[in-house]
Amino acid sequence: MKFANDFLFGAATASYQIEGAWNEDGKGVTNWDEFSKIPGKTFENTNGDVAVDHYHRYKEDIALMAEMGLESYRFSISWARIYPEGTGKINQQGIDFYNNIIDECLKYGIVPFITLYHWDLPLTLEKAGGWLNKTTAQAFVQYASTCFKAFGDRVKHFITFNETVVFCGHGYLEGAHPPGIQNDPKKYFQATHNVFYAHALAVLAYKELNLFGEIGLSNVFAPAFAIDEQQDNIFAANHANQYQLNWYYDPVLLGRYPEYVIERLEQQGYLPDWTLEELAIIKKAAPFNDFMGLNYYQPVRVEKLTGPVQSVELTRENATGRPGKPSFDHVYRSVMMDDKRYTKWGWEISPDGFVDGLDMLKQQYGQIKLYITENGLGDEDPIIDGDVRDTPRIEYISEHLSAVKQAIQHGVHIKGYFAWSAIDLLSWLNGYKKQYGFIYVDHNDNLARKKKDSFHWYHGIIQSRGQDL
Ligand code: BGP
């Protein structure tokens, strides 16, 4: 089977991880500009001040993407370039920058796929309460509408938010992302609700403009599976899916929150403060949401917790993907299993979990339109005689594209695949050591770009529309 001609082969990046130029051309300061400079927060105290300098090298980077045959490029807009203070006055230089990126993509026939929020929040808004403050939702709609009007003539695919579970979870439970708060479930659930509300408002605002494009949201896709057939563990997996999956998919796709979670949050006193009007907006927007973006890296293997819970020290590793932590409510924990494969950072490699998860999603939500908006291998790539030999990445993407193929054959409606990432970039907490790109960036040689083995391989896959996978 070949992938259909309208299936998009793409790759993704995010503003903070790639652009640099953190204080240039009128850009405001963001939560990440501040947070990454607190000693010990990131690996080797790396930050995005320069990142891989895409801000100045975007022409070279997009030319390479075109050479690779990329059909679509998913990138994010830094809110603080458009509104340095989050709201108020627009910074024209920010609009110009993204217009240049879009036009450069279109020059090569690359479809621009825009994420509006990939975690870099203008610091002024963070200081005013960030996602706990409902005015942030209003500010987001203003910012989003400005982007729709400025770019919507040429951009036909908008993602409102990237991975709500991550920036809220890391922000209010693990304290690993800004605002760095630990163990505060009440705040965590409140922030998620404010984000769903902002998403719904943005969807409605977009549809009012009649721009004839599509809008959706990108969620983490980490389906939970029980480690064995035991009833307790099966219960734990269902519980995990309710909190980690349905809580994030239901409001966007169905316009309501899962009853199972609501009941428990009510008992525990963690129910967000929401108004009937906000719930009505979420409901109204759901039918207008055009697609769901899935960021799949790994499934979760879960085990029911019994007896007293041993507290696990939060490390950068287990806060960012390595299994081992108990859930916030101490119902289950994620585990590593002897018969599974893992990356150097302890993330499970499971194309089968991908197919099973996609089948489960179809069962629950029907044939909704999906894009795989992230998938890829974080690795330390070997350089042999000057060439970047990233064979494990080729294997990883090959296996996962085959999984996508299988799912399509099962009737799952997937319209595109975006590898993470187009080019090596800054990993939020893991610096430059953890690489994901098809294009290597040499930090010892003025950030020179170099094509990896996977660059040529992906080119071939796109050319043949994945026929040989
Ligand atoms: C996703 C984020 C990306 C990217 C990726 C890899 O959660 O959307 O921005 O960072 O994960 O994560 P990491 O860099 O931690 O390996």
Q: What is the DSSP string of 336-391?
A: --TTSEE-TTS-EE-HHHHHHHHHHHHHHH-S--EEEEE----B---EETTEE--H
> Is residue 374 flagged as an active site residue?
yes
Rounded CA separation 452/447 (Å): 15
Could you tell me if the CB of 221 is within 6 A of ligand 1?
no
* Residue boundaries of the structural domains of the chain: 8-220+288-299+338-463
Residue 172 annotated as part of some ligand binding site: no
Confidence at residue 389, expressed as pLDDT on a 0 to 100 scale = 98
Fold of 8-220+288-299+338-463: TIM Barrel (3.20.20)
The minimum-distance atom of ligand 1 relative to the CA of 220 is: 7
Could you tell me if the CB of 73 is within 6 A of ligand 1?
no
DSSP label of 245: I
**Burial label, 73 (beta-carbon count in 10 A; 0-12, 13-18, 19+):** buried
Residue 406 annotated as part of some ligand binding site: no
Residue 17 annotated as part of some ligand binding site: yes
Confidence at residue 195, expressed as pLDDT on a 0 to 100 scale = 98
Nearest-CA residue for ligand 1 atom 10 is: 427
Confidence at residue 320, expressed as pLDDT on a 0 to 100 scale = 77
Residue 193 annotated as part of some ligand binding site: no
Terminal-to-terminal C-alpha distance of the chain: 9
Could you tell me if the CB of 120 is within 6 A of ligand 1?
no
CB 158 within 8 A of CB 213: yes
Nearest-CA residue for ligand 1 atom 9 is: 14
Which residues, 6 or more positions from 217, have their beta carbon under 8 angstroms from its beta carbon? Answer: 159, 160, 161, 164, 199, 252, 289, 292, 293
DSSP-derived 3-state class of residue 130: helix
Could you tell me if the CB of 246 is within 6 A of ligand 1?
no
Confidence at residue 290, expressed as pLDDT on a 0 to 100 scale = 98
Residue 43 CA to ligand 1 center (angstroms) comes to 14
Ligand 1 mutation target, pool 32, 427, 429, 436, most atoms within 8 A of CB: 427
CB 44 within 8 A of CB 87: no
DSSP label of 37: T
Confidence at residue 315, expressed as pLDDT on a 0 to 100 scale = 75
Phi, psi of 115 (to 5 degrees): -100, 130
Could you tell me if the CB of 164 is within 6 A of ligand 1?
no
**What is the 3-class SS of 200-215, one letter each residue?**
HHHHHHHHHCCCCCEE
Confidence at residue 312, expressed as pLDDT on a 0 to 100 scale = 75
CB contact burial 37-67 (16+ within 10 A = b; e otherwise): eeeebbbeebbbebbbbbbebbeebbebbbe
Residue 429 CA to ligand 1 center (angstroms) comes to 9
* Pairing of β 111-117 and β 157-162: parallel
Rounded CA separation 86/125 (Å): 6
The whole-model pTM stands at: 0.98
Could you tell me if the CB of 162 is within 6 A of ligand 1?
yes
Residue of 163, 174, 278, 348 marked catalytic: 163
Confidence at residue 461, expressed as pLDDT on a 0 to 100 scale = 98
Q: Which residues of the chain have pLDDT under 70?
A: none
Residue 199 annotated as part of some ligand binding site: no
Nearest-CA neighbor of 419 among 441, 435, 431, 442? 435
